[in-house]
Amino acid sequence: MIEVKNLTKSYGKNIAVSNATFTINKGEIVGFLGPNGAGKSTIMNIITGYLSSSEGTVLINGIDILDKPIEAKKHIGYLPESPPLCDDMTVDEYLNFVSEIKKVNKLEQEKDIEKIKEIIKIKDVEKRLIKNLSKGYRQRVGLAQALIGSPSILILDEPTSGLDPKQIIDMRSLIKSLGKKHTVILSSHILSEINAICDRVLIINKGNLVAEGTPENLAQGMNIDGKIALKVEAPEKKLEILLKNIKGIKSIVTRKTTIEGILDVIVQGDVGIEMRREIFYSLSKADYPILQMRSIDLNLEDIFLQFTEGYKEE
């Protein structure tokens, strides 16, 4: 388990992280989201002990990362955005080198490495020089070094950066499977990736923790404008005039479909206004058939933008 309390990191007058407090429970896969420069990597570097905090504490399974860094780091496997690989070593040589640095028991070292190579699926390149590996395999080797020593916590910073679509899918699947035995913190700019892998998200903006929870819970708790998608058989101009006269509707976007006379419509309304009943009655009275009507649910991208671009003061 990771406990972060009142974490602050400043560089002179520049505050990179401000009073962040959160807990990551055993067995969770938690995603860190935020714009570039929001403070995600700074928080991750403090958790791993690579940076010290200006204020606050980080406990790794109850151990203070600053007071007992060596003991705390035994519980952590870290994959930076650019994996710390030795290009002139083979995969086997590098993993043995990392094992020695981490002081893995000599009797268990070979067995540990063989098991990791099977899990990460790099057995077929074990004798190759790292500099000759593809980007995808290099990321896998980086993930393998994070697993050496059997850490209970994995911290992954942009693990799919630079990978092609198939490699991204493979890496996502791998991280998801690792989450069955490890607590995982994952930082990524790819929102669909966070949504597909993580149990919970933490959103960081300008050094502040601005939201945390599942995407579903965050969406339910946000006070945002309602959106409704319609498919209507009606003249475009007349439909727009009719909808604009309905109380609470703020904006209307219409688009012609491949079927003559059928329109796709997105209606956005004021906060707390229930529009569906009034839309139904108004269009029925005008004899404009509603072929489809549904509420548009927030996705993770909507939530991210709401919290990081300040659409609402809340």
Instruction: Let me know the angle formed at the C-alpha of 73 by 174 and 32, rounded to the nearest 5 degrees.
Output: 50
Six token digits for residue 314: 């809340």
Write down the pLDDT at residue 223.
Answer: 47
Task: Please tell me the distance from the alpha carbon of residue 57 to that of residue 40, in angstroms, as a whole number.
Answer: 16
**Cβ atoms 238, 245 nearer than 8 A:** no
For residue 19, the surrounding DSSP H or E stretch is: strand 14-24
Write down the pLDDT at residue 288.
Answer: 96
Domains parsed from the chain with CATH numbers: 2-217 (3.40.50.300), 225-297 (3.30.70.260)
Supply the DSSP symbol for 132.
G
Write down the pLDDT at residue 271.
Answer: 61
- Residue 145, C-beta contacts closer than 8 angstroms, at least 6 positions apart: 77, 79, 83, 84, 94, 95, 98
Q: What is the pLDDT along the chain (314 residues), one digit of tens a residue?
A: 899 999 999 998 889 999 999 999 998 999 998 888 888 889 999 999 989 999 999 999 999 999 999 999 999 999 988 888 999 999 999 999 999 999 988 888 899 999 999 999 999 999 999 999 999 899 999 999 999 999 999 999 888 887 888 888 888 888 889 888 899 999 887 777 788 889 899 988 888 998 888 877 776 655 455 688 999 999 999 999 999 999 888 889 999 999 999 999 999 887 667 788 899 999 999 999 999 998 776 667 767 777 776 544 33
Write down the pLDDT at residue 3.
Answer: 95
Contacts 24+ apart (CB under 8 A), 100-109: 102/74, 102/148, 102/149, 104/148, 104/149
pTM above 0.95, yes or no: no
Write down the pLDDT at residue 137.
Answer: 92
